[in-house]
Structure 1
Amino acid sequence: MTEVTGAPADVLHTLFHSDQGGHEQVVLCQDRASGLKAVIAIHSTALGPALGGTRFYPYASEAEAVADALNLARGMSYKNAMAGLDHGGGKAVIIGDPEKIKSEELLLAYGRFVASLGGRYVTACDVGTYVADMDVVARECRWTTGRSPENGGAGDSSVLTAYGVFQGMRASAQHLWGDPSLRGRKVGIAGVGKVGHHLVEHLLEDGAEVVITDVREESVRRILERHPEGRVTAVADTEALIRVEGLDVYAPCALGGALNDASVPALTAKVVCGAANNQLEHPGVEKDLADRGILYAPDYVVNAGGVIQVADELHGFDFDRCKAKASKIFDTTLAIFARAKSDGIPPAAAADRIAEQRIAEARRAR
């Protein structure tokens, strides 16, 4: 059953005709005093309270924001299931440019909306929101993670997100080349912001050659200045990155839809493994990758380090315990590749089957 609260007519079509259906609850939030417009989507609570971050982004329309929230929430159900967490999937999006409209008043209003759900949804950071923002939200809502250590939280979850993606890359290398090391491999990273810049460090420590790009010039400049020895190079944009000669691994670490009808035919890499959510722009792209002999590490599997970290915060955060859990992404990714091979399906479909099985078993056990 899907419950829709406060839905204006212009987004009803998106809600009821989405190909990502089956959501338990969708809440549209508006606070005129602060300028808040937000969507909270709860896909499933079969495994426990829905857990997922808050994205703050200048969507072109409310319908686009709703569609993104629905897709992201569904992805969180699968991510949490594959990570072995006792949480369902949810996601929130705040509509607007965070650099222009984000304010304490707006974040507090948002916190009140999350609190009104009584713990069915637990929020955290995502694109456009940061630890300091969650500290503000937490003043109105106790179901808030990703807070600063000073406020009882775990801090920046991008640290373990990057670590988990690195483990997914190692598993991909093991499966494809028989060796988990990335030494001597050329890895292209699209997006070197919160997660991407940590991923660069892991790869360099492992001996990889790294090529980067980002829409923010200052993000690229920061990486290049940190590594003046030339082990990191930059290209103009993602279109140039995916065509880099000799690229072994492509890591989309920005927004979703990076793998589409235009990018997949142009890819030179043999592996795709990155931190971005919803990398497959539409159903069928996973088959296109497989047909080209490109190994795809499902995004919601390899980028689960962050949600592992924030989930642990609810029980008294322990970094070493979280890192140990995130290390298991290596084994989980290998298991997905094995299932894909045995079932004769792409890895994305294999991951979906495993996640759906766990969610279905939890529903039957209720």
Structure 2
Amino acid sequence: MHTDAGVFGRSHELSARAHEQVMFCEDEKSGLKAIIAIHSTTLGPALGGTRFYPYADEAAALQDALRLSWGMTYKAAASGVDLGGGKAVIIGDPAVAKTEELLAAYARFVETLGGRYITAGDVGTNTDDLDVIGKHTRHVMGRSIAAGGSGDSARLTALGVFNAMRAGAESVWGTASLANRTVGVEGVGKVGRELTALLLADGAEVCVTDVNDAALQSLSKANPGVRVLSSVATAPVDVYAPCALGGTLTAATAEVIEAKLICGAANNQLANPFVEQALTERGITWVPDFVANAGGLIQVAGELRSAAPAEVEADVHGIFDRCRDIITAAKAEGIGTGAAANRFAERRLDAIPRSI
């Protein structure tokens, strides 16, 4: 991306599908500085989490909001839910800046959008925060069960990634199992930890890495057989599972990754679209992130329509079939899995007249 592009230019650099609305929110009293990006409401209200992160500057925050909200549009479309794509970012260190006053101020901005944007959790926010936000806006999903929500989405997000990984394994090795495969999990936060448990139960050997030593120690204590490495992206593993922040798949890493399958929970894993071609040329299968990590979205979409938990979980298991179809289409059409997933999503988007 060109860092000197204005808001409109940045939006169009992502794709021909420009953002509908970008809202800058500031509350001097609480110190809130946030950006809410609504990419599309073609299929329904824009839903996407609130990321609370200490961005280097406002330009970096804007770029993240635009990229993430664009990704949510495609995630919702590919998942078959009747929702659009949006995302919010709050600028600041959540360990220092997060207060009930700030969250309340943010919630009031969400409420002014009248339901065009529905927020949920993301990096730096949790169910407790969403409970606070829910006191000041109706347009929030993923609150705690005690507050009437569906609870933390980490388990179902991890379950979706696990099913996506099984589909990838079937394509690469002919069996939908990770038994006796070595999987490198990068990032053992809530989702990475849940994914690790699923992989171990399936018979996989797991190695992990994380910048948070406390998270690594906690996971190692619970699972002594898990190996801790300084890096898993280029380690001798069968599967690389990026589950931290995005952008780890670069032109440089694409040339040295040893894994034959890449599938993880992180958003925006490709540093740029050309990386996928480099992976494909090396015979590496990449399961597109916005399809693999849709379990959390499916959960909150189910909460929105008051679906039974068993129905929602069945929908998350359906990620396996969706990923299988996308990988099959990519092979048949001679294109990358990312392009195949985009086409899958765009068919739903294009079936409805575009309007605001």
Structure 2 length normalisation: TM-score?
0.96
Moved more, 247-256 or 317-326: 317-326
- Which letter maps to 1:326? V
Aligned to 1:296: 286
Contact 2:191 2:243 in 1 (8 A): yes
Q: CA deviation at 1:211?
A: 0.4
What is the rounded CA distance, in whole Å, between the counterparts of 2:235 and 2:25 in structure 1?
44
Counterpart mapping for 1:105-144 below 5 A = 105-144=101-140
1:76 paired with 2:67, answer no
Contact 2:261 2:285 in 1 (8 A): yes
1:20 paired with 2:14, answer yes
Q: 2:333 aligns with which of 316, 326, 343?
A: 343
Contact 1:296 1:347 in 2 (8 A): yes
Q: Deviations over 1:266-291 (max 9, x none)?
A: 21100000000000111211111101
Aligned to 1:183: 179
What is the rounded CA distance, in whole Å, between the counterparts of 1:350 and 1:296 in structure 2?
11
Calculate the aligned-residue CA RMSD, in Å.
1.4
1:284 paired with 2:274, answer yes
Aligned to 1:243: 234
- Which letter maps to 2:229? V
Q: CA deviation at 1:316?
A: 2.1
- Which letter maps to 1:113? F
SS at match of 2:352: helix
Counterpart mapping for 1:208-219 below 5 A = 208-219=204-215
What is the rounded CA distance, in whole Å, between the counterparts of 1:112 and 1:365 in structure 2?
26
What is the rounded CA distance, in whole Å, between the counterparts of 1:37 and 1:364 in structure 2?
31
1:264 paired with 2:260, answer no
Contact 1:153 1:317 in 2 (8 A): no
Counterpart mapping for 1:9-158 below 5 A = 13-18=5-10, 19-20=13-14, 22-158=18-154
Contact 2:42 2:354 in 1 (8 A): no
Aligned to 1:319: 309
Q: CA deviation at 1:317?
A: 4.8
Contact 1:164 1:304 in 2 (8 A): yes
- Which letter maps to 1:68? D
What is the rounded CA distance, in whole Å, between the counterparts of 1:124 and 1:243 in structure 2?
33
SS at match of 1:26: strand
Counterpart mapping for 1:165-176 below 5 A = 165-176=161-172
Counterpart mapping for 1:187-198 below 5 A = 187-198=183-194
- Which letter maps to 2:333? D
Q: CA deviation at 1:342?
A: 1.4
What is the rounded CA distance, in whole Å, between the counterparts of 1:364 and 1:223 in structure 2?
46
SS at match of 2:35: strand
Contact 2:183 2:238 in 1 (8 A): yes
Aligned to 1:7: none
What is the rounded CA distance, in whole Å, between the counterparts of 1:283 and 1:58 in structure 2?
26
Q: CA deviation at 1:12?
A: 8.5
What is the rounded CA distance, in whole Å, between the counterparts of 2:327 and 2:69 in structure 1?
24
Q: Deviations over 1:252-271 (max 9, x none)?
A: 00001010112111211000
- Which letter maps to 1:140? H
- Give structure 2 stretches of 5+ with no counterpart: none
Contact 1:15 1:67 in 2 (8 A): no
1:234 paired with 2:228, answer yes
Q: Deviations over 1:203-231 (max 9, x none)?
A: 00000000000000011111110012x2x
Paired residues, number: 350
SS at match of 1:128: coil
Structure 1 length normalisation: TM-score?
0.94
Q: CA deviation at 1:13?
A: 3.3
SS at match of 1:147: coil
What is the rounded CA distance, in whole Å, between the counterparts of 2:303 and 2:59 in structure 1?
33
Moved more, 313-322 or 68-77: 313-322
Q: Residues 58, 142 of structure 1: CA spacing in aligned structure 2 closer, same or farther, 3 A cutoff?
A: same
1:308 paired with 2:304, answer no
Contact 2:207 2:227 in 1 (8 A): yes
Q: CA deviation at 1:243?
A: 2.5
Moved more, 184-193 or 20-29: 20-29
Q: Deviations over 1:60-117 (max 9, x none)?
A: 1111101100000000000001110000000000000000100000000000000100
Aligned to 1:220: 216
What is the rounded CA distance, in whole Å, between the counterparts of 1:225 and 1:305 in structure 2?
27
